[in-house]
Amino acid sequence: MNIDEIVKEANKAKIKLMGLDTEIKNKALEAVAKNIESNKEKIYEANKKDLEQAQNLVESGKITKATFGRLKLDENKMRDMIQGIYDVIKLEDPVNKTIFTRELDEGLILKKITTPIGVLGIIFEARPDVISQISSLAIKSGNAVILKGGSEANNTNAAIFEIITEALKSTEGFPNGAVNLVYSHDDIKEMLSQDGKIDLIIPRGSNKLVKFIQENTKIPVLGHASGICHIFIDESADFDMAKKICIDAKIQYPTACNAVETILVHKDFKYYDKLKEALINADIKVIENPEKYDHEYSDTILSMKKIDGLNEAIEHINTYGSHHTDSIITNDDKNAETFMNNVDSAGVFKNASTRFSDGFRYGFGAEVGISTNKTHARGPVGLDGLCIYKYKLEGRGQIVDDYVKGRKTLKHKDII
Amino acid sequence: MNIDEIVKEANKAKIKLMGLDTEIKNKALEAVAKNIESNKEKIYEANKKDLEQAQNLVESGKITKATFGRLKLDENKMRDMIQGIYDVIKLEDPVNKTIFTRELDEGLILKKITTPIGVLGIIFEARPDVISQISSLAIKSGNAVILKGGSEANNTNAAIFEIITEALKSTEGFPNGAVNLVYSHDDIKEMLSQDGKIDLIIPRGSNKLVKFIQENTKIPVLGHASGICHIFIDESADFDMAKKICIDAKIQYPTACNAVETILVHKDFKYYDKLKEALINADIKVIENPEKYDHEYSDTILSMKKIDGLNEAIEHINTYGSHHTDSIITNDDKNAETFMNNVDSAGVFKNASTRFSDGFRYGFGAEVGISTNKTHARGPVGLDGLCIYKYKLEGRGQIVDDYVKGRKTLKHKDII
């Protein structure tokens, strides 16, 4: 099938998925988990083929060692992949939840009900474990999905996709065409042009990939191109707390999007030099006059800057940040409040590491991604972010003219 | 100021607006209402100038009589304009509401809090009363706004804008740069290219305008290009109810986006001819073999089609509709449920007129627009649609490494 046909099938499937029972969705997920479990060897074999080709690409410098690492499926990743599906089964079904029920008039009841979004387009790189993770989230939330993986992982992706498809086909009542995989690079361009037919694009990969997608589609994109997070050390900050949080925010996982890139220090904070020394002793490279502040190091490097105080911190962060996650270390509650209200980021923290910005740590049970968007979903996104809502109105023959002409009056009484 | 400077000022203002007290916002709104009240004559004078020029354009066929009508401000519109502002004052502030509070661990409290979106871009045609309406909604929701009105109304728009600006400047604590107006047609193009600096575009005008905007920007657009609504008359439908609802859905306001365009009738419904006759008697032109079904008549015309039954109705609506509002007339609860679950529209109704799809009728107190989007906001959008949320995390020095290494465990306890 070409991409137009796949999009058409996905749009047919989405209608059937919309009203699907939780039980069928969970059965489908269980079938997928079990089928992966019993076909592990097939997946490793396919992965081996990809790894052989990738080895050549590493040697010729076409892909990095890090990409090679992400591509490689080992026992741990396989176990996590399968466990991830069982975790999604346990999550509450986000669909068909009543947001409110309102009696507009006698016998005229309005309900706002959560529904799936429709068709998701997922574009990801190297990591083949993304397929099962995203497919599970799509299935649980009743969305059809079109996946495009990195070509380095084509064999592994195809093997996992086949195993998923087989499991879904064997599940009674589960519609065809819900999960789809496309292969060629041209398919990305095709996918990005399907506005109105693909409802949401979720990129999983490098900043470059995300930026490219954001700039080349009119479909809403859920994600973040970069994670330029800040810590502001206020005058009143406790030295030990500041040191501990700064080191955690960088060293705990230096390439994470919620790792800190710039530490802003109040000019009257007494321990600037001592803090700098502590960071260096923790194997962090500290840059005091960087060429640019709107930069994600993705490494054990950070910028450090002495500033006038709270207002400059807020302005710096709003100007150079990526509106992802920013933290203030302070003993001044009023300053903390001003910081948290005026920093325009998805996460605004007080006396906590930026690394807490994560769907699992927030207790969402699953993470679709972290969004720096200003509409739909912001910050770490759970299953809810794959849903929207519709309005159901049940009447007994009511017409608007009666209310416009004043023969009847709307009551608007909320029912709990 | 050119548009880049205006966008910059609006982005400065948005930070100050984010945490603004409800009291200051309401005082600003009251000042605006009073200033319009005391400067009515100035507005009528400016409107007179626009009407004189528009008269020539009507005569030369460059604008329609309908546009001329929308342009003209009379006492009713002026009164509604002022009353509209007082209505917005009475609405609950949608900002700074706590969606949930969760204890991640002892002394580590996560709050999900509503915030303004940021900077809104409003592009509207002819109707100068839109300025005060949208400005009020933006002020109440703490958003900065950049308005671009139709050039036919330039004089009226400028007069109203000046009066609003004067009132806002006189309000203590209200930031400059919150409400902005741009004039030239080139500004539309400029506005549409400001992704990342304008956060949401709301078009108010013709289907053509909305479609143009949707196709020419990467900024999220809230709205709908067309309103192709359906009524499906099921086999078991009551004739009187079907007749009453069909006539209301077309005649009550034929050009409204929630007016019906196509009536689908179950082949075994006994009164097809009688219904058709009733529609014709109500001065509706009935077309039985239209050239195309995906068409909004915006007139007292509708298509009528005999179909096999429920499944064909659902498929027809999902194929040719605009996912706005669709209604089933039936006495069969199961069919109603299937219809409402499988029709992929913002509003799915049972035994009620499509004309109920409206923010005021839903009880939202204000309407920003009606959205057929599948993300952020769908259906009639109230003040909530101008808000997003942020996550505030307050700790006592917690770091992630403690939880990753198992020295501590997250609790995820919701606090009510």
Reported as a single tens digit per residue, the pLDDT across B140-182 is 999 999 999 999 999 999 999 999 999 999 999 999 999 999 9
DSSP annotation of B198: B
Separation in Å, CA A186 to CA A99, A153, B128, B217: 40, 16, 46, 23
Residues 6+ apart with CB under 8 A from A4: A190
Is A186 a residue whose pLDDT tops 90?
A: no
* B229 within 8 A of B321, measured Cβ to Cβ: yes
Beta strands in B87-189 (DSSP E): 98-105, 108-116, 119-124, 144-148, 179-182
Mean per-residue pLDDT, B11-33: 97
Tokens of A34: 């079990």
User: Any chain B CB within 8 A of the CB of A245?
Assistant: yes
Q: Does B102 touch chain A (CB under 8 A)?
A: yes
Phi-psi region of B16 (alpha: psi -120 to 50; beta: other; left: phi over 0): alpha
For the whole model, what pTM was predicted? Answer: 0.96
Contacts of B336 in chain A (CB under 8 A): 394
Amino acid at A41: E
Which stretches does DSSP call E strand in B143-187? 144-148, 179-182
Helix/strand/coil for A83:
helix
Confidence of residue A185 (pLDDT cuts 50, 70, 90): confident
Q: Which residues contact A75 (CB under 8 A, 6 or more apart)?
A: none
| Closest chain A C-alpha to B262 CA, distance in angstroms | 17
DSSP, collapsed to helix, strand or coil, labels residue B186 as helix
Element counts in chain B: helices (H) and strands (E)? 14, 16
Burial class of residue A351 (count of CB atoms within 10 Å of its CB; 0-12, 13-18, 19+): buried
- Among B251, B362, B410, B414, which would you mutate to test the A interface (most chain A Cβ atoms within 10 Å of its Cβ)? B362
Q: What is the DSSP string of A128-154?
A: THHHHHHHHHHHHTT-EEEEE--GGGH
Q: How far is CA B104 from CA A231, A352, B409, in A?
A: 20, 12, 9
Q: Is B94 in contact with B141 (CB distance < 8 Å)? A: yes
Give A300's contacts (C-beta < 8 A, 6+ positions apart). A250, A251, A254, A283, A284, A285
Pairing of strands B98-105, B108-116: antiparallel
Rounded Cα–Cα distance for residues B314 and B264 (Å)? 10
Q: Are B413 and A362 in contact (CB under 8 A)?
A: no
Give the span between the Cα atoms of A110 and B370, in whole angstroms: 16
Q: What residues have CB less than 8 Å from A8, skipping those under 6 apart?
A: none
- The closest of A249, A224, A226, A225 to A328, measured between CA atoms, is A249
Asked if A400 lies within 8 A of B336 by C-beta distance, the reply is: no
CB B177 within 8 Å of CB B169? no
Q: Is B107 at the interface with chain A, CB within 8 A? A: no
The model's pLDDT over B244-289, given as tens digits with 9 standing for 90+, comes to 999 999 999 999 999 999 999 999 999 999 999 999 999 999 999 9
Whether residue B186 is predicted with pLDDT greater than 90 in this model: the reply is no
Q: Name the phi and psi angles at B186, rounded to 5.
A: -60, -25
Q: Which amino acid is at A18?
A: M
3 state SS of B78: helix
The tokens 């067309």 sit on which residue? B226
The string of pLDDT tens digits covering residues B290-325 is 999 999 999 999 999 999 999 999 999 999 999 999
The minimal CB distance from B374 to the residues A199, A215, A344 is found for: A199
Partners of residue A304 on adjacent β-strands: A263
Q: What is the mean pLDDT of residues B40-66?
A: 93
Please, what sign has the CA dihedral across residues A106, A107, A112, A117? negative
Give the DSSP H or E segment for B369: strand B369-371
pLDDT > 90? residue B63:
no
Return the number of CB contacts < 8 Å for A and B: 222
**In the predicted model, what is the mean pLDDT of residues A392-415?**
97
| pLDDT confidence tier of residue A139, bands split at 50, 70 and 90 | very high
**Percent of chain B at pLDDT above 90?**
92
| pLDDT surpassing 90 at residue A234 | yes
Q: Give the minimum alpha-carbon distance from A56 to chain B in angstroms, rounded to a whole number.
A: 35
Rounded distance between C-alpha atoms, residue B257 and residue B298, angstroms: 8
Burial class (CB in 10 A: 0-12, 13-18, 19+), B365: middle
Distance, CA of B13 to CA of B198 (rounded, Å): 13
Whole-complex ipTM: 0.96
Lowest-confidence region among A182-186, A340-344, A351-355, B391-395: A182-186
Taking the CA of residue B20 and the nearest CA in chain A, the distance in Å comes to 10
How high is the pLDDT of residue A416? 78
Q: Do B397 and A244 touch (CB under 8 A)?
A: yes
Instruction: Please state, rounded to an integer, the average pLDDT across all residues of chain A.
Output: 96
Residue of A240, A391, A397 lying closest to B351 (CB–CB): A397
Identify the pLDDT of residue B93.
Answer: 98
Kind of pairing between the strands at A347-352 and A325-329: parallel
Cα A375 to Cα A358: distance, rounded to the nearest angstrom: 19
CA A81 to chain centre: 17
Of B110, B357, B400, the CB nearest to A252: B400
Q: What is the largest CA-CA distance in chain B?
A: 81
Q: What is the dihedral of CA B308, B314, B316, B320, to 10 degrees?
A: 170
Amino acid at A374: K
A359 close to B (CB below 8 A): no
* pLDDT surpasses 90 at B205: no
Q: Considering only CB atoms, which chain A residues are within 8 Å of B357?
A: 391, 393
Give the pLDDT confidence score for residue B309 in this predicted structure.
98
Cβ-Cβ contacts under 8 Å, A95 against chain B: none
**Gap between the Cα atoms of A73 and A160, Å rounded:** 12
CA angle A98, B370, B194 (to 5 degrees): 115
How does DSSP assign A282-326, residue by residue? TTPEEESS-S-SS----SSEEEEEEES-HHHHHHHHHHHS-SSEE
B393 close contact with A: CB closer than 8 A:
yes
Q: Tens of pLDDT along A26-42?
A: 999 999 999 999 999 99
Q: Chain A residue closest to B323 (CA)? A: A390
Helix or strand holding residue A51 (H, E):
helix A40-59
* Tokens, residue A26: 């969970």
